[in-house]
């Protein structure tokens, strides 16, 4: 699990949506989303599931496939 690669994937998926929009939809803080997108933190499992569902992806695709 490469945090920087995960962050790049999340930024790419966010596209033109704002960080505020995505963080509000996920029920997390904007700063938490920023840390996930920069690879500073890896989300806990329940948040991984929320993110995967939001982007219509699997947890495997987002967090474990390199």
DSSP 2-55: -HHHHHHHHHHHHTTS-HHHHHHHHTS-HHHHHHHHHTS----HHHHHHHHHHT
Arithmetic mean of pLDDT, 14-42: 96
Percent above pLDDT 90 for the chain:
91
Mean pLDDT of the chain: 94
Asked if the model's pLDDT at residue 66 lies above 70, the reply is no
Structural fold of domain 3-63: 434 Repressor (Amino-terminal Domain) (1.10.260)
Asked if the model's pLDDT at residue 6 lies above 80, the reply is yes
The full set of domain ranges for the chain reads 3-63
Full-model pTM: 0.91
pLDDT digit string, tens, across residues 33-58: 999 999 999 999 999 999 999 999 99
């Amino acid at each position: 699990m490469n945090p920087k690669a995960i962050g790049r994937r999340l930024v790419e998926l966010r596209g033109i949506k704002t960080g505020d929009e995505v963080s509000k939809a996920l029920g997390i803080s904007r700063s938490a989303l920023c840390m996930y997108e920069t690879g500073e933190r890896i989300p806990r499992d329940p948040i991984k599931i929320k993110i995967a569902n939001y982007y219509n992806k699997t947890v495997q695709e987002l967090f474990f496939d390199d």
